[in-house]
C-alpha cells in the first residue's frame, strides 16, 4: 500500500515487542490489552479517513475496535488479512459474533485453504453486509498456494495489494 502512495503505519503489540527484545516466546496479551493498544495507536495516528487492519489476530482485534473508533470519527474502514474465523480444526468455535453487526466497511482477504476459515466454513456464518470477502486462489493462512496449483505467492500478493488499493480508494 505504501508503494501505491498511501501512508502506512505499523506497530507491535506489547507481547510482540517483548518477544523481539528478549528472543523468548510469549503468549499474546489479553484482549483488553490488545484492544487498548489499538485505541492508543489510533489516537496517536488517527484522523478522518483512517483505515485500520491487521493479519490474523491483529485483524481480529482491529475488527473489535473498528466500530468503537468509527463512532469516535477516527476509523473509516477495516482490512483483515487472513481473519481467524475459528481455531484450526475447530470450526464450531467461531470468532464471529461481533462480525454480525459490524458497521465499519470491511475487506477480508482470505486464502481458500486457510485452516482458520475456508469458503465452506465462512458460507455458513452470519456476517454483516458491511463485510466483503475476497478469496485468494489456493492460498493458505499466509496466502501461499501449493506449487501444483500453478499459482504463485507473488500472484496472490499482487491480488491482495490490488484489492486493498481499490477498497481504500473507494472509501477515501
Taking alpha carbons only, the member of 118, 101, 116, 107 closest to residue 160 is 107
| pLDDT attached to residue 47 | 67
CA 118 to the chain's CA centroid: 15
If you average pLDDT over residues 90-99, what whole number do you get? 94
pLDDT higher than 80, residue 83: yes
pLDDT higher than 80, residue 52: yes
pLDDT higher than 70, residue 133: yes
Taking alpha carbons only, the member of 75, 131, 79, 69 closest to residue 100 is 131
> How are the residues of the chain apportioned to helix, strand and coil, as percentages rounded to the nearest 5?
40, 15, 45
CA 94 to the chain's CA centroid: 16
| pTM given for the model | 0.93
Amino acid at each position: 500500500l505504501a508503494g501505491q502512495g498511501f501512508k502506512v503505519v505499523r506497530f507491535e503489540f506489547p507481547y510482540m515487542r517483548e518477544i523481539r527484545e528478549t528472543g523468548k516466546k510469549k503468549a499474546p496479551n489479553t484482549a483488553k490489552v490488545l484492544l487498548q493498544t489499538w485505541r492508543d495507536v489510533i489516537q496517536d495516528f488517527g484522523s478522518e479517513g483512517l483505515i485500520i487492519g491487521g493479519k490474523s489476530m491483529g485483524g481480529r482485534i482491529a475488527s473489535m475496535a473498528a466500530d468503537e473508533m468509527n463512532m469516535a470519527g477516527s476509523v473509516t474502514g477495516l482490512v483483515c488479512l487472513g481473519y481467524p474465523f475459528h481455531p484450526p480444526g475447530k470450526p464450531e468455535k467461531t470468532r464471529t459474533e461481533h462480525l454480525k453487526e459490524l458497521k465499519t466497511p470491511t475487506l477480508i482477504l482470505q486464502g481458500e485453504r486457510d485452516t482458520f476459515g475456508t469458503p465452506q466454513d465462512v458460507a455458513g456464518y452470519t456476517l454483516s453486509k458491511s463485510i466483503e470477502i475476497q478469496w485468494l486462489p489456493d492460498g493458505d493462512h499466509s496466502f501461499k498456494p501449493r506449487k501444483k496449483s500453478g499459482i504463485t505467492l507473488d500472484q496472490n500478493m499482487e491480488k491482495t495489494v490490488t484489492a486493498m488499493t481499490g477498497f481504500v480508494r473507494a472509501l477515501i
